[in-house]
Amino acid sequence: MSSADHQTVRILEGRFVLERAADAPVTADADVLATVNGPDGGAVMRRTDTAEDTWVALWNGDAAHPPDATGMLAAIVAPLAAGAIAVWVAASFDGDIVLVPAARLDEACDLLRNAGHRIDG
Q: How far apart are CA 105 and CA 58, in angstroms?
A: 10
Contact 112, 80 (CB under 8 A): yes
Which has the higher per-residue pLDDT, 118 or 41? 118
CATH number at residue 52: 3.30.2130.10
pLDDT in tens, 43-62: 889 999 888 999 999 999 99
Q: Which residues contact 91 (CB under 8 A, 6 or more apart)?
A: 67, 73, 97
**pLDDT of amino acid 92:** 86
**pLDDT of amino acid 13:** 95
Q: How many domains does the chain have?
A: 1
Percent share of the chain, pLDDT over 90: 58
**6-10, 69-73, 79-83: segment of lowest average pLDDT:** 69-73
**Residue 37, SS3 per DSSP:** coil
**pLDDT of amino acid 113:** 98
Residue 74, domain extent: 3-120
